[in-house]
Amino acid sequence: MFGSHLTDVSPPLSTTSAPIKQPLPPPLTQSHPRPDRTFLALFFHHSRAYAPFSQPKRNKHMINQQSLQQWLAQRNKQPAIVCDIDETLCTQFDHPIVPAIRLLRQLAPPIILLYLTARPEGTKDATVSFLEAQHMPFVQHLYLCPRWQSTTQHKCAKMRSFAKEYNVLLSIGDAEEDQLASEAANIPFARISLEDPAGSWHQLTPRLQEIAKTYLPNTPLRATE
């Protein structure tokens, strides 16, 4: 009744092969210039941008942006080193500490040396004569203590002023008031020992040489005997 032959209704086989899939092109990438190594060294070494990252509760991206902005602001300021005089550069008012004198008188622009001392203003002539006799640079940047201020007030006020005007790389002194004034202005501090000032300067030499590599690449600081 229905016939004995079945009709094949499956679709005919294609006589052409399946299309070959072409490999996808590699994703487009943006070429970024390699950061300048000197720029990075300056940023991380002198801005202390790495310090806030030890605080995990703060936003790292925000910290990085703030640190970079602060560093860029500091970068436009003249680099400076602050140094005390008595028991740091000399003893008994005019007896030079030889390693200190030999090391610091190698400093040259763009770094300047700021002499911040507790000596009263009445000692200016004698102090200038001592510095000039030792061939010290930047004698014009001598800051003596006025009569109306205590030595602590004088050093704290001047250190705050220096921090605003200069990129202060280091403060060097022998007294607690030197350290407190530096830390209050967020300036790195190096302590000179009263017992062995020459030894302290020998220990400080590598640190100053690292600073010189950044700012005085063509005139490295020579270590003293």
For the residues of 116-185, what is the DSSP string, one character each? EEEEEGGGHHHHHHHHHHTT-S-TT-EEEEPTTS-HHHHHHHHHHHHHHHEEEEEEEESSHHHHHHHHHT
Cα separation, 175 vs 196, whole angstroms? 14
- The predicted pLDDT at position 55 comes to 46
- The predicted pLDDT at position 176 comes to 97
Query: Does the pLDDT of residue 37 top 90, yes or no?
Result: no
- The predicted pLDDT at position 63 comes to 58
- Looking at residue 96, the DSSP 8-state letter turns out to be E
Query: Does the pLDDT of residue 48 top 60, yes or no?
Result: no
The pLDDT of 182-211, averaged and rounded, is 97
Query: Does the pLDDT of residue 40 top 60, yes or no?
Result: no
Structure token digits, residue 140:
């014009």
| Average pLDDT value for the chain | 82
User: How far lies 182's CA from each of 108, 172, 190, 211, in Å?
Assistant: 22, 9, 10, 18
- Looking at residue 92, the DSSP 8-state letter turns out to be T
pLDDT tens per residue across span 158-171: 999 999 999 999 99
Lowest mean pLDDT, pick from 26-40, 122-136, 189-203: 26-40
- The predicted pLDDT at position 76 comes to 81
Query: Does the pLDDT of residue 2 top 60, yes or no?
Result: no
User: Which has the closest alpha carbon to 39: 7, 82, 6, 68?
Assistant: 68
Query: Does the pLDDT of residue 27 top 60, yes or no?
Result: no
- Looking at residue 220, the DSSP 8-state letter turns out to be P
User: Which has the closest alpha carbon to 178: 117, 96, 124?
Assistant: 117
For residues 135 and 2, the model is more confident at 135
Confidence of residue 50 (pLDDT cuts 50, 70, 90): very low
The pLDDT of 55-79, averaged and rounded, is 64
Query: Does the pLDDT of residue 47 top 80, yes or no?
Result: no
Maximal CA-CA distance, the chain? 136
Confidence of residue 225 (pLDDT cuts 50, 70, 90): low
- Give every CB contact of residue 45 below 8 A, 6+ residues apart in sequence: 210, 214
- The predicted pLDDT at position 160 comes to 98
Residue 39, helix vs strand vs coil: helix
Question: What domains are there in the chain, each with its CATH number?
Answer: 37-71 (no CATH), 77-215 (3.40.50.1000)
